[in-house]
Amino acid sequence: MEKTDVAVIGAGPSGLAVLKNLKEEGFNVIVYDKRDSAGGVWSYSEDPQTTSTVPATISNVSKFGNSYTDFPIPDNLPAHLTAIQTCDYIKSYASHFNLNPHVQLNTSVKWIERNANDTKWQVCTSASGNEEIKDFDKVAICSGLSTKAIIPKFEGEDMFKGEIMHVQNFKRPSDFKDKRVLVLGMGNSAADTSTQLIGHAKDIYLSHRGGAKILSRIVDGAPLDLVITRQKNVVKFALDRYLPSLSRFLFDWTIERYSKQSFKLDPSWRLSPAPSLANHQPVISDHLVDSLWAKKVNSVQGLRRFIGKDKVELTDGTVLEVDAVILCTGYEPDFSITTDFSPLDSGEGKTAGINETPLARLYHNIFPPRYAHSLAYLNYIAVTDGAITISDLAAMAIAQIWKGGYTLPSPEVMNAEIDKHHEWVRGLGKEDSVYTGIVHPGPWYAFLNSAAGTGVDEKLGYGLEGWNFWMKEKKLSGLMMRGVMTPFMYRFFDGRRKRWDGA
């Protein structure tokens, strides 16, 4: 039987996970990446148009909750890996599973289109100045969430003689030696950028309009993500379904408690009140608050406009003299690579949030109903859990669906589910911004576990199989339900995806 040809775009954590899981199921897979090294955003790049972490970056999620499901991070590495350590781990995953022969680096994908018969995907690549077009049965787009920078425009930009750049272009803090820098935003990239500038920049201003929940990586002597257990998630997902307002209140209250436990905030910083974590990620930073107290970073109002060659005016009328402005204003989903097909819903009233961002018609934020059996997006998923683990779980699901081990519903049912999900997203963004790739965690994880056939929901739940597992393995069941929510649980039980004996 002839093998199915699959193209994977991106050799980051998700692209390599898709490659590995499809390869295990007998697919013929090739991965394209424009970078000169695997690792995705964790692989440092000097290219200003390529998003990458800087060497000083530290992972927000610990190694105990963010690894591949059948490839542990070595014990000798710290709980929270640096960018270099994370990239090395991802590369070691590729080497361990012999994935590198299937990866073509320094190869850009120019466009993806359906062929004339609408039977295959044509992928146009460029390497060393040579373009090539190949046909593939299926395509997985794993180019990451941080590719298309959101660059807001401000009045008076043309008169400013300093540098205005998006954080995507921020590569070396030393480039801002003795400069006065305004960092615009209040998210993880803004916190990282402002604290990394300490010791280099002369003055650092953190400019923001709203608040944020600030959390430390370590709570009560242990990584923050170890607070989350399978049992707590089961309860939260049930509350999300039946008592969403209560669930939201309890979750925000819990996070606020951990934040206050870790840090004392000055009201003048305007970090409170913070938006709900239902549609905003917390800021994970061990150094921001201390830097604010020490006046090494100064919290200021939002940017209104530029009023001179080296002056900006803030929303409260304050005028600051600055030499550079770094825009930590986020990224938006990019579907432009499929030139003759876009999943974005352009209908009137179909946007979400105060910024009126279009929503993508993707079943569980992955599959376009029309091409669900040949096209998958892994660049439209926003969750706070470990990205490497999530990528592996999603890759398992994709492999089983495309193999035929799990049947997706009809396009009509998928579209109805998408409409329901979009209504939920628009509800979150009624009076606020919302990342449109956000997923509803309970149903989303249930879908992935079911499609991949992990057995997790059945064995680690409160149904008949869950009670049977508890009766037979009380100690193990208790450990898996109330202990660390380890990524390896997804490979522990027998199921459709490949089980890992080491789990």
DSSP-derived pairing of the beta strands 163-166 and 319-321: unpaired
The tokens of 132 are what?
Answer: 């090539």
CB 292 within 8 A of CB 285: no
| 412 CA to centre of own chain | 28
Within a 10 A sphere around the Cβ of 56, how many other Cβ atoms?
A: 13
Residue reference for tokens 């079911």: 450
Q: Is pLDDT at 188 greater than 60 in this prediction?
A: yes
Residue-averaged pLDDT of the chain: 94
Model confidence at 279, pLDDT cuts 50, 70, 90, reads confident
Model confidence at 348, pLDDT cuts 50, 70, 90, reads low
Report which of 98, 39, 25, 144 is spatially closest to residue 398, judged by C-alpha positions.
25
C-alpha–C-alpha distance, residues 259 and 384, integer Å: 16
C-alpha–C-alpha distance, residues 441 and 210, integer Å: 25
Annotate 162-191 with b (16+ C-beta within 10 A) or e (fewer): bebbbbbbbbebeebeebbbbbbbbbbbbb
Report which of 327, 49, 342 is spatially closest to residue 162, judged by C-alpha positions.
327
Mean pLDDT of 343-364: 82
Mean pLDDT of 192-220: 96
pLDDT of the residue at 151:
94
Angle at 417 between CA 415 and CA 423, to 5 degrees: 105
pLDDT of the residue at 3:
87
Q: How do residues 288-308 score in pLDDT, each as one tens digit? A: 999 999 999 999 999 999 999
- What one-character DSSP code corresponds to residue 2? P
C-alpha–C-alpha distance, residues 425 and 432, integer Å: 11
The tokens of 485 are what?
Answer: 């929510």
pLDDT of the residue at 56:
86
The tokens of 257 are what?
Answer: 């408690």
Q: Is pLDDT at 391 greater than 60 in this prediction?
A: yes
Q: Is pLDDT at 4 greater than 70 in this prediction?
A: yes
Q: Is pLDDT at 216 greater than 70 in this prediction?
A: yes
Distance between start and end Cα atoms, the chain: 33
Q: Is pLDDT at 2 greater than 90 in this prediction?
A: no
C-alpha–C-alpha distance, residues 329 and 271, integer Å: 17
CB 285 within 8 A of CB 192: yes
Mean pLDDT of 86-112: 98
Residues 6+ apart with CB under 8 A from 397: 366, 406, 447, 448, 451, 452
C-alpha–C-alpha distance, residues 122 and 132, integer Å: 10
**Where would I find the H helices in 69-165?**
83-96
Q: How do residues 130-164 score in pLDDT, each as one tens digit? A: 999 999 999 999 998 888 899 999 999 999 999 99
pLDDT of the residue at 243:
95
C-alpha–C-alpha distance, residues 417 and 362, integer Å: 9
C-alpha–C-alpha distance, residues 294 and 288, integer Å: 10
Report which of 58, 383, 382 is spatially closest to residue 192, judged by C-alpha positions.
58
CA-to-CA dists, residue 91 to 96, 214, 322, 439, 454, angstroms: 9, 31, 40, 28, 25
Model confidence at 349, pLDDT cuts 50, 70, 90, reads low
- What one-character DSSP code corresponds to residue 387? H
Annotate 344-365 with b (16+ C-beta within 10 A) or e (fewer): bbeeeeebbbeeebbbbbbbbb
DSSP-assigned states of every residue in 271-289? --SPPPTTTSPPEE-SSHH
| φ, ψ dihedrals at 302, nearest 5° | -65, 160
| φ, ψ dihedrals at 73, nearest 5° | -75, 135
User: At 146, which helix (H) or strand (E)?
Assistant: none
Convert 423-461 into a string of H (helix), E (strand) and C (coil): HHHHHHCCCCCCCCCECCHHHHHHHHHHHHCCCHHHHCC
